[in-house]
Amino acid sequence: MKLSRLTTLIILGASLTAGVSAENYPSRSDMLWVTNPDHPDWLYETGDSARISIELYRYGVPASEMTVNYSIGPDMLQADTDGSLVLDSNGRGVLNIGTMDKPGFRDLRLETVIGGHKFSHHVKVGFSPEKLQPFVKEPTDFAAFWKKAVDEDKKYPLKYTSEPVEKYSTDKMTCQLVRLQLNDRGRAMYGYLFIPKGGGKYPAVLTPPGAGVKTIKDPMAHRYYGEGGMIRLEIEIHGLHPELSEAEFAAERKVKGDYLKFGLDDPDEYYMKDVYLGCRRFLD
């Protein structure tokens, strides 16, 4: 498999996951934020001002005359503007979040308190993002490094164990817990594999995890993939059995919590190298 194809598949899997789990309308919240910029594509030219309309609903009813605190600033940086806005009788308001003189993203963070509970929301808009330039140049040996890594990885046989998981199987799909051996150094990863019943060929989705050392929280949260006719493999990257207790995961976090720094000074020993190759191996 070519590196470009591998990268595309990994990003696609991550995007599908992000698109589903990063919900704009959390199903378990009493509050619903509706935020829309005055540019429907959420994009502006540097120097333009961006206006964001805000609506807030509680149990579907407009939160009239509610005070909303806001902070505005560059993406991932400290806010440069703070204040509060009182919504009108229809639970609506508008904020001008300013502009940027250089390409980037501007973040609007909202918060209100109702019944002693905080409810927050945030949105970002882009200013000429197509003109952003990377801070670090790609190494000249980037493609060669990964070609060599993939070629060497292919020499290691595809080794895995699979066991049925009845509690996550339904009348429309089966579930198996797969343990994939990554290499001869003992590295492994787990994944829940959902396959539609009935046989035949199906499209497949690989779902990498978010950051952190944690379990696969709710394998059935996206059951509509398997029940709707798609193979889906939801994975973790640390070789930790998903049925471990929270206490056991807490202990592992103390050991592996800084995993993004492990082997950082050596590309061949970097922790995430095995992770990327493991994603390719899971696709196989």
Domain ranges of the chain: 27-131, 136-283
What's the rounded mean pLDDT across residues 132-148? 93
Reading the block at residue 173, the tokens are 């799909």
Predicted pLDDT of residue 28: 60
Angle at 18 between CA 196 and CA 216, to 5 degrees: 60
Right CATH number for 136-283 from 3.40.50.150, 3.40.50.1820, 3.30.565.10, 3.65.10.10? 3.40.50.1820
What's the rounded mean pLDDT across residues 149-173? 96
Please, are residues 49 and 98 in contact by the beta-carbon 8 Å criterion?
Answer: yes
Residue 66 reports pLDDT greater than 80: yes
What's the rounded mean pLDDT across residues 258-262? 94
What's the rounded mean pLDDT across residues 56-71? 94
Residue 150 reports pLDDT greater than 60: yes
Residue 149 reports pLDDT greater than 90: yes
More confident position, 15 or 235: 235
Predicted pLDDT of residue 30: 84
CATH 2.60.40.1930 for domain 27-131, yes or no, is yes
Tell how strand 81-86 and strand 67-74 pair up: antiparallel
Residue 10 reports pLDDT greater than 70: no
User: What is the residue-wise DSSP string for 173-186?
Assistant: EEEEEEEEE-STTS
Q: pTM of the predicted model, to two decimals? A: 0.63
Residue 13 reports pLDDT greater than 70: no
What's the rounded mean pLDDT across residues 149-159? 95
Q: Taking the CA of residue 269 as centre, how many other CA atoms within 13 Å lie in the half-sphere pointing to its CB?
A: 6
Q: How far apart are CA 144 and CA 8, in angstroms?
A: 18
- Angle at which helix 3-21 crosses helix 271-283, to 10 degrees, equals 90
CA 87 vs CA 54, 64, 108, 155: distances in Å = 8, 6, 16, 62
Predicted pLDDT of residue 2: 44
Predicted pLDDT of residue 135: 87
Q: What is the mean pLDDT of the chain?
A: 89
Q: Give one word for 168, left, alpha or beta, with left for phi > 0 and alpha for psi -120 to 50.
A: alpha
pLDDT tens per residue across span 232-243: 999 999 999 999
Residue 22 reports pLDDT greater than 60: no
Tell me what percent of the residues of the chain surpass a pLDDT of 70.
90
Residue 8 reports pLDDT greater than 90: no
